[in-house]
Each structure stands twice: as structure tokens, then as C-alpha cells.
Structure 1
Amino acid sequence: MSRFSILGWPVFRQAKSKDKLGRGPTVESPKYQNMRPRTEDADRVVQSVCPYCAVGCGQRIYVKDNKVTHIEGDPDSPVSRGRLCPKGAASEQLVNTPSRQKTVLYRRPRGTDWEELDLDTAMDMIADRFLEARANHWEDFAEDGVTPVNRTMGIASLGGATIDNEENYLIKKLFSAAGAVQIENQARI
């Protein structure tokens, strides 16, 4: 263990050097003189939007070797002006966690195990079920038989807060065009 010495004080170093304002090397500790910014080694910087809520805070994503190495607030964003909440600041963990699911999993009706599906098969299954539910539950007129409603009660949408307002807007338009009336998103709440 080293002994404490008054010679290591920045005020003492400032007094014996020509750095009278204390803004130069006298205030630098040896521990921090060789440190570099963690973003310095990035191959590129990508602008993005935080995925967690509907605010749409801007992010700068630092990438090295096609892997996200750091995420920070984008000072050019008019929404957040470089600030991120704790969840947004930790969103690098969202893409780099070893437990991230990267394949489509499907559990058959009354099944007990999950099986992997390729993305095209899963998308076709979703589209087929969507169209079938729309066709089976379509209503041209209300119960009085006169008032046109042109809707389906067999489809509903609940959007999450991990997509931004623009994506929720497009989802709302898609489901409205399909005739759904039960449309909500967590970001609005």
C-alpha cells in the first residue's frame, strides 16, 4: 500500500508548475492520463431511435465488426437532445444479451414443446390465420340490418411500447383497413 503524500495533491502540483489556472496537466491524475473514450474504436456510428417507448429518443449506436459496442443519446435529436432514460441507456443489452431469441418458435395446439420454424413459414401461418379470422367474422351491417359497419370482430391489435409512434400509426392504419375496430397500443396509455 502506498503512503499518502502531499506532493500528489493537484493544488501543490499547480503551485510548482506554470499551470496557474489549474486547467492543464496539473489536474490530470496518472490513472486517467492513458484512458481513451470507449467509442473511439467504433467502425461506424448509426443513428437510431430508442425501442422502449413512444417518445422516440434519438440514439447513436457505435458498431465495431458488425457488433453493437455502445449506445448513447443523440445530441442532434430534437426529441431528447442527447439524453436517454436508464432503459434507453441500457438498450445495448437488448441486442447483445446471450439469451436473446433469434429464431421463430412455435408450439402446436395442445403441444408441450416448442419447435423452430423458418420465418417465411411463420409469416405465411400468421397471414392465413389473419385472413381466415377476418372472413369468418366479417359484418356488413349492424344488428339492425340497416346500418353499414363493414368491420370484423375476429381481429384485435395490441401494440407494445417498444415500437415508436410512427410504427403504431402504421399498425393502426393496417388494422383499420382490414376492418378491425379493437385497436390499442401501450404507447398511448
Structure 2
Amino acid sequence: MSRKSLLEWPVIRQLRSGDAFGRGENVQSQKSKDLTARTTTADRVVQSVCPYCAVGCGQRVFVKDEKVIQIEGDPDSPVSRGRLCPKGSASEQLVNSSSRQTEVLYRAPKAKEWQRLDVDTAIDMIADRFMEARRNGWQDTDDQGRPINRTMGIAGLGGATLDNEENYLIKKLFTAAGAIQLENQARI
């Protein structure tokens, strides 16, 4: 066990340096001086957008060894100018949570257990059900015989976290499929 000199005590260092209020570096421990921010050790920084609401705050995502180590507000963002709300500040936990679902789970009708599916199978199941609902709800003409070419079997509900480009593509997809019931969470 090493003995510390009385001259190295924080109060003595503070008085010797003329820092009467104890706000200088003399009151820091060596451990505090040796600390470095996680952001300085990152391999790269990726710009992103917060996933929680429709505001679209800019984020800087710090990545080390292909793992997210920190998420901060992006000062270059014209929307948030480097600020994040408490949820946005905690979005690193969303990415690195041990309870984050990383596999596709499916529960068949009236089943009690979930089963794992590969992504391709799940996408094929969704596409098949989409087309079946479109086909079952298709209307060629209205009551007066006028062509309407639409389906009442599918509808779209967009989320507020989607950006303009994503909403535009969703609108194009559902309109091309014949759906007329398109809504967005931001409008409801």
C-alpha cells in the first residue's frame, strides 16, 4: 500500500494553486483525469434520425467494433440542433437491450406457442395474405356500373416516425394495389 504525501491532498493542492473555490483541475483525482469519453474511442460516427416521434431529431450514432456505444444529438441537424428528448437520449438502450427481439416470431391462429420463422418465409406469408385480401375485397364497378377498380380488403396506416420519402413510397404502393383507405398517425 503506497502512502500519499500530504502535499497531494486535494485541499492542499487547491490552496497551493490559488484555486480558492475548488473548481480547477487540482481537485480532480488521477482517476478522473484518466477518464476518456466513449465517443473518442469510436471507430466511426453515423448520422441517423431518432425513431420515436414525428419530429425527426438528428442523431450521431457512435460505433465501435460494429456495436453502438453511444447516441447523441446531432448539432448539424436543422430540426433539433443537437438536442434530444429523454427518449431520444436513451435510444442506445433500444439498440443494445438484452430483451430486443431479433428474430421473426409467428403465432398461428388459435395457437398457444410462438414459432420462429426465417425472414423470407415471413415476407412470403405477408405478401400472400396481402394479395388474398386484395383479391377478396376487389370491386370492378360501383352500383351504377361505373369502373372503380379498387379494393376494400386492404388499408394503410402510416406511422409518425416515417419520413416524407417513406410515406410517398407507401402511398404509391397502396394506390397501385387499389387501396383507397390510407391514413397516417400524424393526421389522426
State yes or no: 1:15 paired with 2:18: yes
Q: TM-score, length-normalised on structure 2?
A: 0.82
Q: Which residue of the partner structure matches residue 164 of structure 1? A: 163
- Residue pair 1:53, 1:187 contacting (<8 A) in 2 also: no
The amino acid that maps onto 1:63 is: V
Residues 67-90 of structure 1 show CA distances to partners (whole Å, capped at 9, x for unaligned) of: 100000111112211111111111
SS across alignment from 1:75: coil
Q: 1:5 to 1:46 in 2, by over 3 A?
A: closer
Whether the 8 Å contact between 1:75 and 1:82 is mirrored in structure 2 is: yes
SS in 1 for 2:41: coil
**RCO comparison, higher one (Cα < 8 Å, 6+):** 1
Q: What SS does the corresponding residue of 1:93 show, helix, strand or coil?
A: helix
Q: What are the residue-to-residue correspondences of 1:1-189 with 2, within 5 Å?
A: 7=12, 12=15, 15=18, 27-28=24-25, 29-31=27-29, 32-146=32-146, 148-189=147-188
Q: How many residues align?
A: 177
| Contact 1:73 1:81 (8 Å CA) reproduced | yes
Unaligned runs of 5+ in 1: none
Residues 42 and 62, structure 1, Cα contact 8 Å, conserved in 2: yes
Partner residue of 2:3?
A: none
Q: Which moved more, 1:154-163 or 1:70-79?
A: 154-163
**CA distance, structure 1, for counterparts of residue 129 and residue 19 of structure 2:** 79
Give unmatched runs, 5+ long, in structure 2. 1-8
String of CA shifts for 1:88-135, please: whole Å, max 9, x gaps.
Answer: 111111110000111111111111111000000010011111111111
Alignment CA distance shift 1:99-1:6 (3 Å): closer
Q: Deviations over 1:8-56 (max 9, x none)?
A: 65xx555379xxxx9xx96223144333222111111111111112222
For residues 13 and 179 of structure 1, the distance between their equivalents in structure 2, rounded to whole angstroms, comes to: 80
Tell me how far apart the structure 2 counterparts of residues 183 and 61 of structure 1 sit (CA, whole Å): 33
Indicate if the aligned counterparts of 2:171 and 2:182 stay in contact, CA closer than 8 A: yes
Partner of 2:5: none
Conserved 8 A contact 1:14-1:26: no
Q: Percent identity?
A: 66
Q: Work out whether residues 55 and 79 of structure 1, in 8 Å CA contact, stay in contact via their aligned partners in 2.
A: yes
Q: Hey, what's the Cα distance between the residues in 2 that align with 1:174 and 1:91? A: 30
